[in-house]
Amino acid sequence: MHSKKIMLVAGEVSGDLHGAHLLEAIQKFDQRIEFFGVGGDGLEKRGMRLLYHVRSLSVVGISEAFRKLRTALNTLRKLKEAMERERPDLVILIDYPEFNLRLARF
């Protein structure tokens, strides 16, 4: 039996905080679950393997959003590739709707 994999994407600092609490609660039930995805320091401290840090995606204002559009699209593409490669048992998308709704369609 393989260990379960959960992909978690929290593209904002507040999502990282919520995700860290969720990861901690899940780990109380099963320490063998592997977590990977996008998050910040809170998720990383609790053992999640970060594919991307939230700093690379967070934006403030419309001009910064345009500057980081290419980064966001590349990250989205690479996360889709990671989903195909890693085959997570569950994907949890927290906050960051502009990004996560596109990922959810995959």
Q: What angle do CA 38, 42, 44 make, to 5 degrees?
A: 55
pTM equals: 0.89
pLDDT one-digit tens code per residue, 49-90: 999 999 887 666 777 667 778 888 999 999 999 999 999 999
Alpha-helix residue ranges (DSSP H) falling in the chain: 13-29, 41-45, 62-67, 69-86, 97-105
For residues 21-35, average pLDDT: 96
What would the two tokens of residue 87 be? 């085959």
Question: 3-class SS at 41?
Answer: helix
The number of folded domains in the chain is 1
- What DSSP character marks residue 54? G
| pLDDT at residue 98 in the model | 85
CATH label of the domain that carries residue 54? 3.40.50
Domain ranges, residue 72: 5-105
For residues 89-106, average pLDDT: 92
